[in-house]
Amino acid sequence: MTRVQQIGVVIGLAIVALLTILRAGDPGLFKLIRGVTFDEYQRLLPRTFEPMPVYVIDIDEASLREFGQWPWPRDRLALLVDRLSQMGASAIAFDILFSEPDRLSPRNVVREVAGVDPSLAEKLPDNDETFARSIAEKPVVLGFGLSNEGNYRPPVKASFAIKDESPVSAPPYLGASTPLRPQLEANAAGLGHISLNPGSSSSVVRTVPLFLTDGEQLYPNLAIEALRVAQGASTYVVSGARGRAGIMTSVKIGEYVVPLTAAGELWLYVTPDRAERYISAQQVLAADGPSPEVAAAIEGSIVFIGTSASGLQDIRVTALGENVPGVSLHAQTVEQILSGRFLSRPDWADGMEIMMIAIFGCLLVVVTTFVSPAVALVCGLLITAMALVASWLSFLYAGLLLDPLAPIISGSIIHFAATSFKILVIDRERREVRRAFGHYLSPSLLHRIEHTRDALRLGGDDRELTVMFVDVRSFTEISERLAPTDVVAFLNTLLDALSRHVVANEGTLDKFIGDSIMAFWNAPVDVADHETKAVRAALAMRETLVELNAGDAFGFGPGQKVGIGIGIHTGLACVGNMGAKTRFNYSAVGDAVNVAARLESCCKEVGFDILISDSTARSLQGMALIEAGAIPLKGKSSRTQILAVVGDERVAASAEFSALVVVHQQLMQALLTHSKNTRKLIGTAKLRAAGVIDGLAEFYQRISGRTDHFRDVPERVEKSAAD
């Protein structure tokens, strides 16, 4: 493992630890995301509505139009109770608070009339007493609310049997209760709180607290109290967690066992709101009595009395996103218990999700660090898919609520952080590669390398290259005259100036060998028209050297000129990263390299500064070239034809070069036939060459001494302005 990888793993594991601790703390954002996820599950697969012996007696808009605005006098509510009882309701639960005296009671109305004898009021009926007499001996459950003021504690109509550890300290109790009228409190068969989501900042009702506590006593809610009264049960059997005080697991209400959260809550599994659940209070209070259909529905049913009228502001939001009357959720609580279809979030769910964050987080850190980002992304997507599928199947088949998003979000953060670190490291390494190769390659070529897969892998490929060797003439003599530091300064000045033209023409600088330069074209990526670009680089080097000599850039004094020889050949070579895995050079080897080096050494013998092989010349268009004979090479049975590069297209198009070409061709023929005119033609060529370029005179001067280079020349390559 490299040091960079070690740092990446340490940073990744630190992020995993931080996210694991954060999830263990379970901040509000995580709870919100978890709740929204479970809402979506219910929207995808809501609980199927089934006809149940549970109804809502709805004080709806039609009832208010018929009997007047709310609140109704309690003698009318007494009539409602009497009729429901006569129809055989098994429990009558009021989702209504009765904390104040009835203002519409005749006794209270008379008391508020000025000048009326107070004793007269005592003779008039009291609606609260009427209502209290009505509910006595009937299965009526009244509701009480929560308040932040007072210390009222309602009486508990049922007893509690506790199994295992006491759960009393677990559920929250968010304030004192709003007191009921004493006579109502005494006559009711059951009392239950009507709070649906006390203390919750969310408007969505996802769980219903079946029990609240003041630290000493448990208080049931309206729904389960109605279910208890309907069954004639007198005791709640509450199960706590074995060995863990203050935790609830379930409650047995008569024949029904209900799973609970640790805080004594029931996860609501709701159905879409249905009209079949509601019976208008107008139908029950009709003057001619309820219809047979209403009577048949009420018989044996648990009924909840509440309101759907919008002006009374008892509208709640369900997990399905519907706005429903609060009383509907009490009814749905009982429906769910009767159906036996529960949602539960087991007490081990939090621990498992925390463990998944730690395990999958560590896995992602390792995968992202040691494999490619693509593989890491695939692993991350697989983990995401597994978490979603496992969570959905748990909901579908077992009603378990397991949060997939906490591990997924945490995993995404970990993957993003690890990948970002890796990309930053890769980017840094890429900058280092660019900085290193920027001395050897052109920016355009370097950009192509960065975006070419496996461009710099260890090993070699056989490909056609144009190879160039550049060497300083008389370097030994120069170095003998200079101090070592001056020799280094001379080489730095010269090689820096010359090598720039390789990079500028999309070539690759292979290496500096003392006073020599090796470069090649068409690797590591393809370079179009690489033969021409190599020759243009050589011509640019010639011009640069002329400028350096003219400006005495080397400090040798007037008349002291530096010369170079350049050999260029195109052929097959093996090019790639060569050496050890930890230290290698990008270089080329093969016959093409040897031929180019031999051509460069021939520059001294030929007397000209730029020589190319016929294989390079075949790809050049319009360059000013002249034949320079054919040279033998070690290991080859035939000689290699060489050409001298006089200039570019501008030179090739000049009249002077055209005239030289004519004389040069005559000279080549004379050399082949050993004509007596050879010496005369050499002299003429020297005169014509003087008007073309400096240096050609020496070339023709040396021709007479190497006539064997012009015998049995292979296929001749002739280039002129006419080409």
Asked if the model's pLDDT at residue 204 lies above 50, the reply is yes
| Range name among 98-102, 581-585, 682-686, 692-696 with the lowest pLDDT average | 581-585
Cα dihedral 464, 470, 476, 479, rounded to 10, equals -130
The verdict on domain 441-620 having CATH code 2.160.10.10 is no
Backbone angles phi, psi at 28, to 5 degrees: -60, -35
Measure the CA–CA gap between 180 and 39, rounded to whole angstroms: 35
3-state SS class at 39: helix
Q: How confident is the model at residue 442 (pLDDT cuts 50, 70, 90)?
A: low
Q: What is the pLDDT of residues 628-668, one digit of tens each?
A: 988 887 667 778 899 999 999 999 999 999 999 999 999 98
The pair phi, psi for residue 622, each rounded to 5°, is 80, 5
* Helix (H) or strand (E) run with residue 244 in it: strand 244-253
In this predicted model, which residue has the larger pLDDT, 567 or 372?
A: 567
* Residues comprising the chain, all counted: 723
Q: Which two tokens stand for residue 193?
A: 């709180």
Which helix (H) or strand (E) element contains residue 471? strand 459-472
- What is the per-residue pLDDT for 704? 77
In 3D space, the residue among 329, 338, 341, 296 whose CA is nearest the CA of residue 93 turns out to be 329
State the pLDDT at residue 720: 38
Cβ contact 257:336 at 8 Å: no
With 50 as the cut, is the pLDDT of residue 678 above it?
A: yes
> Token pair of 44, please?
């995808």
Q: Are 37 and 403 in contact (CB under 8 A)?
A: yes
Percentage helix, strand, coil for the chain under 3-state DSSP, each rounded to 5? 45, 20, 35
Q: Is the pLDDT of residue 118 over 70?
A: no
**Alpha carbons 5 and 407: distance in angstroms, whole number:** 24
Task: Give DSSP secondary structure letters for 129-166.
Answer: HHHHHHHTTS-EEEEE-EESS-------SSEEEEESS-
**Which residues fall within 8 angstroms of residue 283, CB to CB, at 6 or more apart?**
290, 291, 294
512-529 tens-digit pLDDT:
898 999 999 998 888 999
pLDDT above 70: residue 391: yes
Mean pLDDT, the chain, whole residue set: 85
Residue with tokens 């005296």: 101
Q: What is the pLDDT of residue 722?
A: 35
Q: Tell whether the torsion through CA atoms of 61, 63, 68 and 73 is positive or negative.
A: negative
Between these two residues, 206 and 448, which has the higher pLDDT value?
Answer: 206
| Cβ atoms of residues 163 and 239 within 8 Å | yes
Q: Quick check: helix, strand or coil at residue 190?
A: strand
Rounded to whole angstroms, what are the CA distances from 655 to 418, 586, 608, 648, 667?
68, 44, 21, 14, 19
Do strands 624-631 and 640-647 pair parallel, antiparallel, or not at all (unpaired)?
A: antiparallel
Residue 217 binned pLDDT confidence (cut-offs 50, 70, 90):
confident
Distance CA 358, CA 22 (A): 11
Backbone angles phi, psi at 691, to 5 degrees: -90, 0
User: First-to-last CA distance in the chain?
Assistant: 61
Eight-class DSSP state of 216: S
Beta bridge partners of 566: 470, 610
Give the distance, in angstroms, between the CA of residue 78 and the centroid of all CA atoms in the same chain: 63
Distance CA 663, CA 689 (A): 10
Whether 101 and 181 have beta carbons less than 8 Å apart is answered as yes
Average pLDDT on 362-369 reads 81
Pairwise CA distance, residues 592 & 580, whole Å: 24
Domain residue extents for the chain = 3-28+346-434, 48-339, 441-620
**Banded pLDDT at 723 (limits 50, 70, 90):** very low
Helix residue ranges, H only, 579-636: 591-606, 614-617
Residue 719's pLDDT band (boundaries 50, 70, 90)? very low
Task: Give me the half-sphere count of Cα atoms (radius 13 Å) on the Cβ side of residue 318.
Answer: 23
Exposed, middle or buried by CB within 10 Å (0-12, 13-18, 19+), for 434? middle
Which residue, 66, 549, 438, is CA-closest to 281?
66
In this structure, the dihedral spanned by the alpha carbons of residues 522, 566, 696 and 535, taken in order and rounded to 10 degrees, is: 10
Output the CA–CA distances (angstroms, integers) from residue 528 to 465, 534, 569, 572, 600, in the order listed.
11, 11, 16, 16, 24
Separation between Cα atoms, residue 628 and residue 636, nearest integer Å: 19
Does 309 or 60 have the greater pLDDT score? 60
What 3-state DSSP class applies to 314?
A: coil
Higher per-residue confidence, 528 vs 444? 528
Residue 695, pLDDT score: 82
DSSP states of 77-114 as a string?
HHHHHHHHHHTT-SEEEE-S---S--TTSHHHHHHTST
- Confidence at residue 452, expressed as pLDDT on a 0 to 100 scale: 61
pLDDT at 721: 34
Cβ atoms 599, 569 nearer than 8 A: yes
Which whole number is the average pLDDT over 203-209? 89
Residue with tokens 């498992």: 352
Paired tokens of 677: 């005119």
CB 316 within 8 A of CB 329: yes
> How large is the average pLDDT for residues 39-67?
92
Residue pair 282/67 in contact (Cβ under 8 Å)? The answer is yes
Percent of the residues in the chain that have a pLDDT greater than 70, as a whole number:
86
